[in-house]
């Protein structure tokens, strides 16, 4: 064989890879079906790991602060159980507080909307008549169209569509509830056995991976864990600050429903960038039903608050913790939201921060899992 020509083994490997690609393309419908079934079966497990991660942050907090670091057998046995119960109780308490604050006032707003809707429709129809948009000829034409419409067929078709939608909705809710319950139980087992699972995973990796590959994998996992941990803690802190500022500002301005809209703002602010904007739109609509002037005042206030949040709060609370410039935060939210919706918006930022930090560390050859903010590449500006 002449120098520079590929070996027989290389040619065979390329041929086998090309044949595998051909088979994958040719039998893609069947392969896609198998992948879809496998993923649907793994949903509870994947969701369980997703639930376990934020719970582990709270659980680790209670483990560090509620229990001394001693070797007493009773403490070692009770420590994970009590810490997990405290973490779940904290999370349930926060959710219950938000529900208690938001739901009653939201029901009052819906009731007000139902009461005011007939008056608003009457005023709107009178305005259409006064402006000449709705003339007697137009009213007669609409009446003739309604008389010519086959109401029996239309109502039957609508009922069929509604029943089909209701059945699909009930099936989806039942499936989602079952998956969530299984995922929650799986997350509990993972958290209660996390030390043993970590040791077992390390033994398997040390057995089957070479030293350099294992070191690289541990480094990437450490970077990702640090980015996700900092993002979750920073995002929750930023959401709480924004919600409190929104409620206090509305109290000062005398706007209605300050605590409900503040709690809603804090909850939706967990979604980076987009969440606060959506909460502002919803809050303005709720206030609009009571006073258009106050709704306008609220819009001005929420725009100023979001500007303050974007320039001061978010860069210092979240941006400085994950060391990701604002342009890449926006790009991560845009791409993640376009690909995977709200979940993509939430996960896209820490994923982008992980990739950004790995690239930064590789450029500077630092090999550090935790961010070092004293260099230009890591600046969040």
pTM: 0.71
Do 167 and 224 fall within a single domain? Answer: no
Under the banding of pLDDT at 50, 70 and 90, the label for residue 380 is very low
Query: How confident is the model over 10-64, as pLDDT tens digits?
Result: 777 788 888 888 888 888 888 888 888 887 788 888 888 989 998 999 998 888 8
Domain end, chosen from 157, 191, 208, is at 208
Do 317 and 224 fall within a single domain? Answer: yes
Do 150 and 224 fall within a single domain? Answer: no
**Helix (H) and strand (E) counts for the chain?**
13, 0
Predicted local distance difference test score (pLDDT) of residue 377? 46
Do 60 and 200 fall within a single domain? Answer: yes
| Nearest in space to 346 (alpha carbons), one of 5, 54, 33 | 54
Do 199 and 215 fall within a single domain? Answer: no
Residue 7 lies in a domain: no
Task: Report residue 160 CA to chain centroid gap.
Answer: 34
Domain count, the chain: 2
Kindly give, in sequence order, each residue whose CB lies less than 8 Å from that of residue 3, ignoring residues fewer than 6 positions away. Answer: none
Under the banding of pLDDT at 50, 70 and 90, the label for residue 375 is very low
The Cα–Cα gap between 8 and 111 comes to 78
Q: Is the pLDDT of residue 132 over 70?
A: no
Q: Is the pLDDT of residue 136 over 80?
A: no
Tell me the Cα Rg of the chain.
Answer: 28
The Cα–Cα gap between 169 and 262 comes to 31
Domain ranges, residue 317: 211-381
Query: How confident is the model over 253-276, as pLDDT tens digits?
Result: 988 888 888 888 888 888 776 777
């Amino acid at each position: 064989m002449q120098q520079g020509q590929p070996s027989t083994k290389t040619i065979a490997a390329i041929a086998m890879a090309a044949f595998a690609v051909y088979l994958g393309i040719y039998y893609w419908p069947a392969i896609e079906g198998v992948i879809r079934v496998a993923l649907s079966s793994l949903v509870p497990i994947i969701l369980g790991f997703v639930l376990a991660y934020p719970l582990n942050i709270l659980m680790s907090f209670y483990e560090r602060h509620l229990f001394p670091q001693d070797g007493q057998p009773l403490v070692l046995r009770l420590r994970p159980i009590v810490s997990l119960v405290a973490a779940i109780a904290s999370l349930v308490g926060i959710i219950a507080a938000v529900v208690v604050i938001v739901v009653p006032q939201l029901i009052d707003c819906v009731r007000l909307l139902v009461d005011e809707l007939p008056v608003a429709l009457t005023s709107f129809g009178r305005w259409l008549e006064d402006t000449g948009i709705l003339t007697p000829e137009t009213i007669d034409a609409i009446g003739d169209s309604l008389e010519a419409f086959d109401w029996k067929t239309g109502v039957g078709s609508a009922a069929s569509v509604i029943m089909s939608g209701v059945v699909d909705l009930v099936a989806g809710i039942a499936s989602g509830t079952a998956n969530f319950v299984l995922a929650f139980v799986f997350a509990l087992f993972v958290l209660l056995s996390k030390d043993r699972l970590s040791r077992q995973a390390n033994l398997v990796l040390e057995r089957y991976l070479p030293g350099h590959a294992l070191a690289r994998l541990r480094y990437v996992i450490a970077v990702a864990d640090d980015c996700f941990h900092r993002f979750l803690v920073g995002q929750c802190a930023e959401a709480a600050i924004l919600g409190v500022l929104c409620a206090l500002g509305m109290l000062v301005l005398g706007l209605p429903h300050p605590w409900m809209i503040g709690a809603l703002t804090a909850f939706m602010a967990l979604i980076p960038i987009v969440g606060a904007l959506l909460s502002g739109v919803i809050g303005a609509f709720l206030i609009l039903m009571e006073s258009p002037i106050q709704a306008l005042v609220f819009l001005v206030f929420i725009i100023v608050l979001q500007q303050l949040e974007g320039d001061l709060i978010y860069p210092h609370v979240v941006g400085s913790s994950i060391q990701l410039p604002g342009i890449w935060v926006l790009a991560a939210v845009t791409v993640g939201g376009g690909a995977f919706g709200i979940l993509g918006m939430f996960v896209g930022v820490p994923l982008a921060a992980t990739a950004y930090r790995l690239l930064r560390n590789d450029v500077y050859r630092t090999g550090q899992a935790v961010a070092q903010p004293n260099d230009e590449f890591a600046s969040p500006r």
